[in-house]
């Protein structure tokens, strides 16, 4: 197998946007019932000193770097959300839902469980071919 990947979503986003925007994106994309109050988001962050509501920060999301960070966030969360969906459908299938069982069967045969792409990406990460940069 390849090298372990232990980079948090916060770390991924901070490679693209400033820390305060990364934290705001994570807060913004977290469901309302699972996130902290906006006033508790960053009590020591200077960029939040004059911000009293999420609406005042929404302009940050229109920045090109923020939009790239949002894409990274959504890609990062895609696997997590698919796993949650799989678990929910699995429970339904165990309860006798035939459609859920069919979904589980199809999903199990999908590329989600195929690790070959990850192995290729791990290998290509260390290959230095200028023509391939940005295409892997």
HSE value, Cβ hemisphere, 13 Å, CA-based, for 83: 6
| Sign of the dihedral through C-alpha 42, 80, 134, 64 | negative
Q: What is the domain count for the chain? A: 1
With 0-12 CB in 10 A as exposed, 13-18 as middle and 19+ as buried, what is 66? buried
pLDDT tens-digit profile of 24-36? 999 999 999 999 8
Is 1 contained in some domain? no
pLDDT tens-digit profile of 84-134? 888 999 999 999 999 888 888 888 887 776 665 555 455 545 555 555 555
Nearest to 26 by CA among 76, 82, 79: 76
Q: Which domain holds residue 65?
A: 9-132
Mean pLDDT of all residues in 34-51: 76
Asked if 38 and 54 touch (Cβ cutoff 8 Å), the reply is yes
Is 82 contained in some domain? yes
Is 3 contained in some domain? no
**Alpha-carbon span 112 to 65, nearest angstrom:** 29
**Alpha-carbon span 34 to 84, nearest angstrom:** 15
């Amino acid at each position: 197998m390849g090298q372990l990947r232990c980079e948090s979503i916060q770390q991924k986003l901070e490679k693209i946007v400033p820390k305060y925007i990364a934290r705001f994106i994570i807060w913004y994309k977290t469901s309302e019932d699972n996130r902290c109050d906006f006033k508790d988001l960053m009590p020591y962050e200077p960029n939040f000193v004059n911000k009293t509501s999420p609406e005042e920060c929404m302009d940050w999301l229109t920045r090109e770097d923020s939009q790239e960070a949002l894409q990274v966030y959504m890609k990062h969360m895609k696997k997590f959300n698919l796993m949650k969906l799989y678990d929910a459908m699995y429970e339904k299938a165990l309860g006798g839902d035939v459609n859920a069982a069919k979904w589980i069967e199809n999903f199990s045969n999908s590329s989600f469980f195929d690790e070959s792409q990850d192995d290729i990406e791990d290998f290509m990460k260390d290959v230095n071919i200028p023509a391939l940069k940005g295409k892997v």
